[in-house]
Structure 1
Amino acid sequence: MDSILVTGNGPLNGQIPIAGAKNACLTLMPATLLSEEPLTLTNAPRLSDIKTMTALLQSLGAEVSSLQDGQVLAMSSHDLTSQTADYEIVRKMRASNLVLGPLLARFGEAVVSLPGGCAIGARPMDLHVEGLEALGAEIELRDGYLHAKAPGGLKGAVHEMRFASVGATENIVMAATLAKGTTVLKNAAREPEIVDLVDCLRKMGAQISGEGTPTIEIQGVDRLHGATHQVVTDRIELGTYMLAPAMCGGEVELLGGRMKLVESFAAKLDVAGVHVEETEKGLKVARKNGRVSAVDVVTEPFPGFPTDLQAQMMALMCTAEGTSVLEERIFENRFMHAPELVRMGAEIEVHGGTATVTGVDRLKGAPVMATDLRASVSLILAGLAAEGETTISRVYHLDRGYEHVVRKLEGVGAKIERIKGQ
């Protein structure tokens, strides 16, 4: 099993290109199931999760070709052979459940296994099911699979979600594009990835308004056509690399970054003593003066502080001046990186969904283990700012969400290498 060796060696300087958004691309790919015509995605990230979604779509009979070194995905669902998403593929990644809405909308039936993914708490499908049932679907859970039918087709409805779930919003919106009549989805998630999905669906002929607000209205159409769409910049990769110069010093420009994607995150960095400036090419980040200051963080749905940047922010707070409190309100069990940071000399106390971090002058390198995707990169950041060597094991998590992480950090002066397992 591969590991990553990081040696702290001072300030970072240069440019890091930011890839297309993993979470956006994983949502856009199932949209091909809504139409017989081709859907082409550009600026696709080159990640193992994208390969998993590719395998899932191909198992349904879709054609998926990876072009231009993986940055272009050419897809066609003109001749699907199955409406069943098998457990062996779905268990690897929770985003696999996003085939449910499109299959149900186009074919009137779907059988989808309950999903897997990172071990960061329960991720139930109840919000997805409630929304699709509001559109007239009949859904039954049997033997770990959701068996969904809509014998007379889906019908538009007014539905308010109990929680602004990103995945449920995406599934319901995709399903509603082919439903008869108008669907009004209230308490919808507002993430940029949803705005990007709606932009793509609109190019395919969908009639949707209100994306980026809590109320999305979808007027169903008879069919969708093909389109070409560029995947939005990955705001989580962007935020992650913004923390590298914040922790190590120096100045790094994140190519393709935009402030509107990370406003709440950048606001916290500003209070902590990190300068973020928008440039023609992206975002430029540098520490203002010496050691950063502690700030409190509460994770919230967009436009609040992203849960997917909580682990990385904790790494920064480990060396901040003062004490910070990080409260996780989105996922349970999302402080599994804390004990690993403690192995590096951090002072962290976890009580339920709250972590209290007292900053230390310097972290020390140590052997640590990644527990999930964002935890793995938080340990890399910590290693960059630590004395000595840090070895991060189980980095297969990393490949799900960060392309060429070693190459990108090496490009700005980091001492980092990937060590192949036996």
Structure 2
Amino acid sequence: MSEFLTVEGGTPLTGEITVRGAKNFVSKAMVASLLGETASELSNVPVIRDVDVVADLLRLHGVTVDHERASGVLHLDPSDVESAHVADIDAYAGSSRIPILFCGPLLHRLGEAFIPDLGGCRIGDRPIDYHLDILRRFGAVVDKTAGGIHIKAPAGLTGTKIELPYPSVGATEQTLLSAVRARGVTELRNAAIEPEITDLIAVLQKMGAIISVDTDRTIRIEGVDRLEGYRHTSLADRIEAGSWASAALVTGGDVFVRGATQPEMMTFLNTFRKVGGAFDIRDDGIRFWHPGGDLQSIVLETDVHPGFMTDWQQPLVVALTQAKGLSIVHETVYENRFGFTEALRGMGATIQVYRECLGGLDCRFGRRNFLHSAVVSGRTPLRAADIVVPDLRGGFSHLIAALAAEGTSRVHGISIINRGYEDFQGKLEALSARAALTN
């Protein structure tokens, strides 16, 4: 807490930055390398804390990891996979939920796995019950202890039929990573179909997996005895691209996001245009800017892909504080994602949160006492404040608010932002932001 970012607001962000591979894909592709009998190579890898955490966990299990940070190329050799000490796993994984996805690959390679207490952003319950139930369906034995969860599969994993109550990204990834080397066929219904899932399927297919995806969210996996390593280039991080787009909009700026791609961002681009933002899609990226005039209020509902991504919601809410009229935002993916609005209200924003489902159909959080809808009244000038970063996406949203606010803000806990935004301080400098790290 002694280190903070001093941000002098009121300066439009202008210039060019580059986004590399998607945080929500790269870490899963790294885990997938455990399934191969030979080395893998992953390109377009960002230098972020989550990549370092997964790399350390892989090394604990005997994987040789070499990250060429400048070029963004990651080499992973799982030839000597072995069990890791429980204390070491706990020490490295305290701030990440990724160890749960190690289970399937480790059960295939070693016959056992261990999960410590899991961390991650506090944006909702995000239970691991889906994951444990999935592993049990494959034939794994789950033993919960005070220090964590021990999982064994001495007879190996067997294909099964699974229907998710909700198209969870994590549960879909767990199923894929467990099914590709399981005996027989696995059928997964109500699966997540996010672009990051599609890219993971592409990686697994390159390794030798047999996976088909139907239009009704059904994925079928035919288990194989052996997988090889892969060579793959990660898709761009659509969350980071959307975050910088919102920053350009709320500061009245003009930012070219090199590496951003249209197909994965179509839903965001439609909403960005409705609010009043402008963009230009090029072969090597997307330019986002505020064209002048008033921003417009909207009714927005987050949803699983191809809906509006929940991770785009928080940065865009900051922009909506500068839009004319009442905007309604209904969060249907995480039940506790409006906690970040408290700091925005302290900066002068007019935001009210409600338990009711506003602006659309009832969702699974309706009548369950969760504050999962928000009404944003604009336009309201933002004032500088002392801010403590609550979580990754909320933290970047607070940073955007500080950049737009009148006066000088102090943003504490910025190390959390490093989990998912590569060199964000360097990018702020490239965009002429007046921000400096202070002890």
Above 0.5 in TM-score? yes
* Structure 1 residues 285-341: Cα deviation after superposition (integer angstroms, max 9, x where no partner): 122432211112222111111111222111111111111122222223222211111
Name the CA distance, whole Å, in 2 between partners of 1:51 and 1:212.
35
* 1:96 correspondence with 2:99: yes
Match of 2:424 among 391, 405, 415: 405
Name the CA distance, whole Å, in 2 between partners of 1:158 and 1:81.
30
Match of 2:186 in 1: 183
Match of 1:55 in 2: 56
Q: Secondary structure of the residue that 2:132 maps to in structure 1?
A: helix
Q: Secondary structure of the residue that 2:240 maps to in structure 1?
A: helix
Match of 2:267 in 1: 264
* 1:215 correspondence with 2:234: no
Unmatched 5+ stretches in structure 2: 355-370
Report % sequence identity.
36
Superposition pairs for residues 250-329 of structure 1, below 5 Å? 250-329=253-332
* Structure 1 residues 6-28: Cα deviation after superposition (integer angstroms, max 9, x where no partner): 22243333222112111111111
Tell me if the contact between 2:41 and 2:73 (Cα under 8 Å) persists in the aligned partners.
yes
Tell me if the contact between 1:319 and 1:360 (Cα under 8 Å) persists in the aligned partners.
yes
Tell me if the contact between 2:140 and 2:157 (Cα under 8 Å) persists in the aligned partners.
yes
* Higher deviation after alignment, 241-250 or 104-113: 104-113
Match of 2:7 in 1: 6
Name the CA distance, whole Å, in 2 between partners of 1:242 and 1:250.
9
Per-residue deviation at 1:376? 1.2
Name the CA distance, whole Å, in 2 between partners of 1:403 and 1:286.
22
* Structure 1 residues 158-199: Cα deviation after superposition (integer angstroms, max 9, x where no partner): 211111111111111011110111111111111111111111
Using the size of structure 1 for normalisation, the TM-score is 0.95
* 1:165 correspondence with 2:185: no
* Higher deviation after alignment, 410-419 or 271-280: 410-419
Q: Secondary structure of the residue that 1:64 maps to in structure 2?
A: strand
Name the CA distance, whole Å, in 2 between partners of 1:214 and 1:259.
23
Question: Which amino acid in the other structure matches residue 121 of structure 1?
Answer: G
Q: Secondary structure of the residue that 1:363 maps to in structure 2?
A: coil
Residue 74 to residue 309, structure 1, CA distance change in 2 (3 Å): same
Q: Which runs of 4+ in 1 moved over 6 A?
A: none
Using the size of structure 2 for normalisation, the TM-score is 0.91
Match of 2:42 in 1: 41
Tell me if the contact between 2:11 and 2:434 (Cα under 8 Å) persists in the aligned partners.
no
* 1:205 correspondence with 2:201: no
* Structure 1 residues 43-75: Cα deviation after superposition (integer angstroms, max 9, x where no partner): 111011111111111112221112243722211
Name the CA distance, whole Å, in 1 between partners of 2:200 and 2:59.
21
Tell me if the contact between 1:60 and 1:83 (Cα under 8 Å) persists in the aligned partners.
yes
Per-residue deviation at 1:213? 6.3
Match of 2:131 in 1: 128
Superposition pairs for residues 230-269 of structure 1, below 5 Å? 230-269=233-272
Match of 2:403 in 1: 384
Question: Which amino acid in the other structure matches residue 292 of structure 1?
Answer: L
Question: Which amino acid in the other structure matches residue 326 of structure 1?
Answer: V
Q: Secondary structure of the residue that 1:368 maps to in structure 2?
A: strand
Match of 1:373 among 392, 395, 401: 392
* 1:26 correspondence with 2:15: no
Across the aligned residues of Structure 1 and Structure 2, the Cα RMSD in angstroms comes to 1.8
Unmatched 5+ stretches in structure 1: none
Name the CA distance, whole Å, in 2 between partners of 1:95 and 1:150.
20
Name the CA distance, whole Å, in 1 between partners of 2:139 and 2:380.
58
* Higher deviation after alignment, 95-104 or 148-157: 148-157
Per-residue deviation at 1:354? 1.6
* Higher deviation after alignment, 30-39 or 11-20: 11-20
Residue 41 to residue 350, structure 1, CA distance change in 2 (3 Å): same
Tell me if the contact between 2:347 and 2:385 (Cα under 8 Å) persists in the aligned partners.
yes
Q: Secondary structure of the residue that 1:321 maps to in structure 2?
A: strand
Tell me if the contact between 2:60 and 2:84 (Cα under 8 Å) persists in the aligned partners.
no
